[in-house]
Homo-oligomer: A and B are copies of this chain.
Amino acid sequence: MVGMKEVAKRAGVSVSTVSNVLNNKKNVGPETRERVLKVCRELNYQPNAAGRLLKSGRSDTILFNFSDFDRSFYLKIINGVYDYLKDNGYDLIICTDKSCEKYMTGKLTSGSIILDRKMKTETLVRIAGEHYPIVVLDRIIDNPYIKSVVVNNYEPMYELVQGLVDRGYRRFGFVGGPEDTADNQERFKAFSDCLTANGIGFQQKFYFAGNYREKSGATAAKILMLSNELPDCLVCANDNMAIGAIKTFMQNGIRVPEDIAVTGFDDCDLAEAMGLTTVSIPNYERGYLAARYLIENIRGQRNVEPFKISANIKWRETVLDKRAGR
C-alpha cells in the first residue's frame, strides 16, 4: 500500500535516495540513511516486488515445479532443494501447474527445477536459455541450457531381478508405469534383460501398464487374480503400485510373500513401514543436487552433462529366500 514516494516525502528526500538506502548503496549520508530507515519502519514499508522486478530483472528466486500429490517423497526432494537454495541465498517458490510458465522468465525467477512430466520438453527447450538455466528431474533433455538429473534405473532394477532369480523365483509379472516415460522404459528393460540373461521367459499376459498410482497396482492385482495361475513374483515399477497390489492380494486372501512376492521402486515411507522390498532412491539428496547444479549454471559454471544418481536395493519382507537351506 505505502510506496517509496510516500517514504521519500515523509523523510524529506527523493525517491532515488530511498532506493539507494534500501539497496545499501554507499552514496548516501549516514544521517539521511538513518532517517529514511526510520520512516520505513514507521510506515511499515514493504517494497513492491513487481516494480523492482520490472526494472532490475534480478530475482534470486528459483522455481520448483511438480504436480503429483500422491507421491509423498516429493516433499523430500523439495526439502533438499530448499536447503541448498537457502544456504546459497536463493529463495524458492513452488508451482503445481503449468501456470508456472508465467514465472519462468529471467525477470521473475533465475532458473527452474522441473519435476512435473506435464511440462512438455518442447516448452522447456523454448524457455531455457543463456540467462535462464533449467534442471529437469527424471528425464533427459539434450539442450545447452538444460541439465538432467536422473535416477539410475537400469542397474539397480537389473540387480533386483537377479536377486529375485537367485532367491528361486522363476515366474514373473511386471506392473509398469506410463509407457512413454524414460524411467519406466529403463526399469522394464532391465527387468526384461535380466530374465533373458537368465534364460527365463516372460509371458506377455503378466505385463500390466499402470500409471504409477496405487490404484493401478490394485487393478493389475485384480486382473492377475482372474487368471487361474499367479506368477510367483510381481515386480512393480514403483512403490505405490506395489502397495496397491499387496493390499488387493491381502484383501483376497492371497498371502505376500508366501503366495506371491512383490517388489517396488522408490522406497517411500510406506514401503519401509510395510516391509516392501524395493529400490531406494535418495530423494533429499537428488533435490539438493538438482539445486546445486542449477545454481552453478546460473553462476556461469556451465555444465549440462546428464547426472545419474545411484540407487540401492532394500531387501525386506515381501520377498522370500527360497534357496535350499534357508
Q: Which A residues form the contact surface with B (CB < 8 A)? A: 1, 44, 46-51, 53-54, 69-72, 74-76, 78-79, 82, 86, 91-97, 99, 101-103, 105-108, 126, 129, 243, 269-270, 273-274
B residues in contact with A107, CB < 8 Å? 48-50
**Are B74 and A129 within 8 A (Cβ)?**
no
Please indicate which of the listed interface residues A47, A51, A70, A273 has the most CB atoms of chain B within 10 Å of its own CB.
A273
- 8 intermolecular pairs with C-beta atoms under 8 Å apart: A44-B126, A50-B50, A82-B97, A91-B102, A94-B95, A94-B96, A269-B269, A269-B270
**Are B273 and A101 within 8 A (Cβ)?**
no
This protein's copies in its complex: 2
**Are B95 and A93 within 8 A (Cβ)?**
yes
**Are A72 and B69 within 8 A (Cβ)?**
no
Known: A92-B95, A94-B93. A79 touches B72 (CB 8 A): no
**Are B103 and A49 within 8 A (Cβ)?**
yes
| Smallest CB separation, A106 vs chain B (Å) | 8
**Are A72 and B269 within 8 A (Cβ)?**
yes
**Are A78 and B69 within 8 A (Cβ)?**
yes
**Are A1 and B105 within 8 A (Cβ)?**
yes
Known: A105-B46, A105-B49. A78 touches B92 (CB 8 A): no
> What is the CA–CA distance of A274 and B269 in the complex, to the nearest angstrom?
11
**Are A101 and B46 within 8 A (Cβ)?**
yes
Given A54-B54, A93-B95, list of 7 further CB < 8 A pairs?
A: A44-B126, A46-B101, A46-B105, A48-B105, A49-B102, A51-B54, A92-B97
B residues in contact with A79, CB < 8 Å? 69
Q: Give the nearest-CB partner of A75 in chain B.
A: B69
Picked from B53, B75, B76, B102, the residue with its CB within 8 Å of the CB of A74 is B75
| Smallest CB separation, A51 vs chain B (Å) | 6
> What is the CA–CA distance of A86 and B67 in the complex, to the nearest angstrom?
13
| Smallest CB separation, A125 vs chain B (Å) | 11
Q: Give the nearest-CB partner of A78 in chain B.
A: B69
| Smallest CB separation, A33 vs chain B (Å) | 22
**Are B82 and A91 within 8 A (Cβ)?**
no
Q: Give the nearest-CB partner of A93 in chain B.
A: B93
> What is the CA–CA distance of A45 and B49 in the complex, to the nearest angstrom?
22
**Are B1 and A129 within 8 A (Cβ)?**
yes
Q: Give the nearest-CB partner of A51 in chain B.
A: B54
Picked from B71, B92, B105, the residue with its CB within 8 Å of the CB of A96 is B92
Q: Give the nearest-CB partner of A247 in chain B.
A: B273
